[in-house]
Amino acid sequence: MSRLFSPTFPADWSVQSTMAKIIYTHTDEAPLLATYSFLPIVSAFAEKAGVEFETRDISLAGRILAQFGLADDALAELGELTASPEANIVKLPNISASLPQLKAAIAELQAKGYDIPDYPDSPADATQAEIRAKYSRVIGSVVNPVLRQGNSDRRAPRSVKEYARKHPHTNKPFGPGSKTTVATMGEHDFKSNEKSVTLPADDTLTVVLETADGGRTVLLERLPVLAGEVIDATVLSASHLDAFLANAIARAQAEGVLFSVHLKATMMKVSDPIIFGHVVRAYFADVFQRYGEDLAAAGLSANDGLAAILAGLDALPNGAEIRAAIDLALAAGPRLSYVNSDKGVTNLHVPSDVIIDASMPALIRNGGKLWDGEGREDDTLAVIPDSSYAGVYATVIEDVKRNGPLDPATIGSVSNVGLMAQAAEEYGSHDKTFEIHATGTVKVIDQAGTVLLEHEVEPGDIWRACQTKDLPVRDWVRLAVTRARAAGIPAVFWLDETRAHDAQLIRKVRAYLADADLVGDTSGLTIEILAPELATAYSLERMRRGEDTISVTGNVLRDYNTDLFPILEVGTSAKMLSIVPLIAGGGLFETGAGGSAPKHVQQLLSENYLRWDSLGEFFALVPSFEKYAEFAGVPAATVLADTLDRATARFLDDDRSPGRRLGTIDNRGSHFYLALYWARELATQTDDPGLAAAFRPLADALTANEAAIVQELIAVQGSPADIGGYYLPDPEKTEAVMRPSATFNRVLAAL
């Protein structure tokens, strides 16, 4: 049932054994569109070297269909594969869907004739509860915890760093007297309320809510844990959150700055949509005070954002009255920042539109300014309710205000070794996050009946637990030392001894750093443990001196840092090399961040121009080919890796990434040039004469037809493109759009 998106691939590839094959993931949005253009090139080149590719569909649409038996469960299959040493997976960015995105995908699939049910907001019976449970398995960060059975090694390749130094992008200065700053709770939030314990032995825990009236609700019946595992629990107070938000709104109004909120409602799929809903209700307090019951009765939730509420008002008898009240609130309140002022899309429209790890670096790059409803830039109050990592962004903002913008031509790099294996830390908390319904105490209890962790709670509070197994921590420490030794630069563990979870990890880190059998001799290496704010300042100081540093972080900071620093250093996080050495011995090769993917799709649909940059795919394939050569014993795969690496360097030197305006090459043109340079490198290499002979005709044909191919690729720009769907594009229409050069297709087919 797996969908293969190019008819050039054999129809039975989706069911063959994965032994000694590279699995290329079929995902969503701009990365998926790029795959239609790029994968036929890669598969054609690889076939000549005896390297086999397969695809697996882990898109949002594919995950939905799999839940109802209408497609193979490719994600589960790949999860099993990660436990095998032959795993070789190239993973492109996928949609970590918010609830509005899920509902939109369901509607599209239903319109295409798929027999799947509506999402039940309030299940009325066991059948609807089961349907909702199935849908809950496909939203948020469900893909990454399954595939990331290893820790992360992510950095800017040398060629990208050199290109950024030769062709530096602009990081704007903050204006004199800039009012842009970060607002965060600092107390009564997840960080301040966190409690943590390391389990002495294997156990099965239970999470219960004991209410003030004597009731007892089991929130989680079975939570299996292993010896040495760290278990955390914490709660964010709803009442204090509301008070904080009311104050932040008043502050933005008084200071005359934009109001913006920065969350991650995709990855933190339970907690952050709830927090987002609190923000919407706080900003439109009068509206919800007057019409909250009407909106709730109509199934219109603040958690889904302002856009969902506006879309549902026409069905309400007093919908026009509510719309007028919303417009009045927008006019009377502090100015909101806008995601798209031309289309009237505010910061509060869609919870998944403003993703903190992309939005905050963009704000910093732009001199601390966002956009108002008229498209004008202005300072902003950046609201990050939980204080766990807000200080990282606050530290960068204050550094840039004090020392000026970071100069990409001279600054050093901050790479990352990230703890993420086996759903470590907060990103593994989804099934252990609850919105509390009654006053009482939440307790985490072991099998012996001992209460390990407990919190007093009130209605509306958000309580969560998360777990971090010992084996991933050991591997994380080993990987950090290995990278520090190989790179010859300091490695800094971003851990705060005053935070409960970090205190547990610090004890483990110190023990494992002293374990010579695990990490070898660490003498001569600079390895620090610093709280995140201090680690940020330390790294920025070294960056400004042109020095490199490895940030060694937990799961959420891994996500934040691998956007923050690359965006400041090289202009984007899409150009990063991201390798996940799987604990079982295989490899997961990730291809960059997808935060900008929706905007790129919109431009393709309106102008037939795709600005998505596939450099991440180019970089990921090099170690993937190397892994294939090592495991499958195919020396030609190493030749593919070496020549692709050199071709990518030439690609960057010649500035063949997608341009910024119509009439320049876009993603499709960049793929042509990568193919041209790669074919030339293969044709002239001397390690495999047979392979060189096979690629000389292709290199000659691509060179001879360069002008014609580029003209054909550019000629289609400027008019709308039809791909037959957003979440489930039509394969034939999409291939026609993404492979518009008849000359290029003919030359490639001849290979």
What digits encode the pLDDT tens for the residues 576-604?
888 999 999 999 999 866 556 678 899 99
What digits encode the pLDDT tens for the residues 688-721?
999 999 999 999 999 999 999 999 999 999 999 9
* Spatial separation of the C-alpha atoms in residues 388 and 165, rounded to whole Å: 33
Give pTM, 2 decimals: 0.86
Res. 19 pLDDT band, cuts 50 70 90: low
What digits encode the pLDDT tens for the residues 351-373?
988 889 989 999 999 999 999 99
* Spatial separation of the C-alpha atoms in residues 51 and 643, rounded to whole Å: 15
The pLDDT mean for the chain works out to: 93
pLDDT at position 3 is 32
Cβ–Cβ under 8 Å, residues 383 and 356: no
What digits encode the pLDDT tens for the residues 646-659?
999 999 999 999 99
CB 519: neighbour CB atoms within 10 A? 21
pLDDT at 6 over 60: no
Instruction: Say if strands 203-211 and 440-445 run parallel, antiparallel, or are unpaired.
Output: antiparallel
pLDDT at position 335 is 96
What digits encode the pLDDT tens for the residues 49-106?
999 999 999 999 999 999 999 999 999 999 999 999 999 999 999 988 888 899 999 9
CB 658: neighbour CB atoms within 10 A? 21
The 3-class SS string of 196-244 reads EEECCCCEEEEEEEEECCCCEEEEEEEEEECCCCEEEEEEECHHHHHHH
What digits encode the pLDDT tens for the residues 171-219?
999 999 999 999 999 999 999 999 999 999 999 999 999 999 999 999 9
- Averaged over 561-570, what is the pLDDT? 93
pLDDT at position 594 is 59
What is the H or E stretch that residue 433 is in?
A: strand 433-435
Helix, strand, coil abundance in the chain, percent, nearest 5: 45, 15, 35
- Averaged over 109-134, what is the pLDDT? 94
pLDDT at 436 over 90: yes
Percent of the chain with pLDDT over 90: 86
Give me the residues paired with residue 465 across strands: 233
pLDDT at 567 over 60: yes
pLDDT at position 596 is 61
pLDDT at position 158 is 84
